[in-house]
Amino acid sequence: IVSGNYFLSTPLYLQSGQLSTCALESLTEIDVLVWDKESALALKQNLPKMYDLELAIMDRLLNWLQDNQIDAICMTAEERYRKMMEVQPEVIQQVPLKYIASLLAIHQDSLSRIRKTLGEK
């Protein structure tokens, strides 16, 4: 779940031309910038800082993936939900619970129990 001023990309497509197997759905209004592989390559060739930007984005992506994998293994569903509340509180307010439960890899009933428990504390 992405919120705020985040950036989404399909790095495999930009590197190899392989189409993404994912589809995106926006629950709010967003700005979308679409470019093909050739345009991305032209940008990198004509603007040297684009290469640095690409490396920074890839570094951020790899760190995000690693953090999420560690969280999935080491944290309980309640801990992951608490973290989401701290890091992305707007997601809790804007995203339907079924999507949040899916992201946490739990059943919607389990998420309801977690929310009830946290509400009682």
At 1 the pLDDT is 64
Phi, psi of 80 (to 5 degrees): -65, -40
At 101 the pLDDT is 95
Q: Please list the pLDDT of the chain residue by residue as tens digits (121 residues).
A: 666 667 677 777 777 778 888 777 887 788 888 878 888 889 889 998 988 988 898 898 899 899 999 999 999 999 999 999 999 898 888 889 999 999 899 999 999 999 999 985 4
The structural domains of the chain, with segments of one domain joined by +, span 1-74, 77-121
Q: Which of 68, 62, 11, 63 is nearest to 37 (CA)?
A: 11
Instruction: Give 81: exposed, middle or buried? Use CB within 10 Å, 0-12, 13-18, 19+.
Output: buried
User: pTM, whole model, 2 decimals?
Assistant: 0.73
Give kind and range of the element (H or E) at residue 72.
helix 48-74
